[in-house]
Amino acid sequence: MNVELSSLSGDEWYAVYASITSNVNTIGLFSPIVYFRTLQRQPEPILNLRGESLSRSTIELMWQPPSKPNGPIATYLVYYAPIEDRLPVNNWKLLCLMKGKFELIKKRKLKTLF
């Protein structure tokens, strides 16, 4: 026999045990507890993204991590384009990917390094 458990969170530990009931409504003995971890999956979006202008050419971005990261977060990718281009932009030439060109400091503040 088998059963599929769904709606579980990604990258989480779970403990499972089972029992049966008879037709006289008595609960049988419980099985041993089995532990397993679900696979990682796509994280939820970041929360409370906001920015503050530090100069004519620099902004500081701040956010909170996702409420459900569903696994370790490897990199935050920041995309930006002039506002008249209306994000998300389909033309990749108008986007700048800031992967590895920033550092996270105190409470997910981002400072550009250029």
Domain extents in the chain: 47-112
For the chain, state the CA radius of gyration: 23
**pTM of the predicted model as reported, rounded to 2 decimal places:** 0.55
> For residue range 24-80, what is the model confidence (pLDDT) as tens digits?
777 778 899 999 999 999 999 989 998 888 888 888 888 888 888 888 887 887 777
CB neighbours of 83 closer than 8 A, spacing ≥ 6? none
Neighbours of 10 (CB within 10 A): 16
State the Cα–Cα distance between residues 44 and 98, nearest whole angstrom: 20
CA–CA gap between residue 93 and residue 96 (Å, rounded): 8
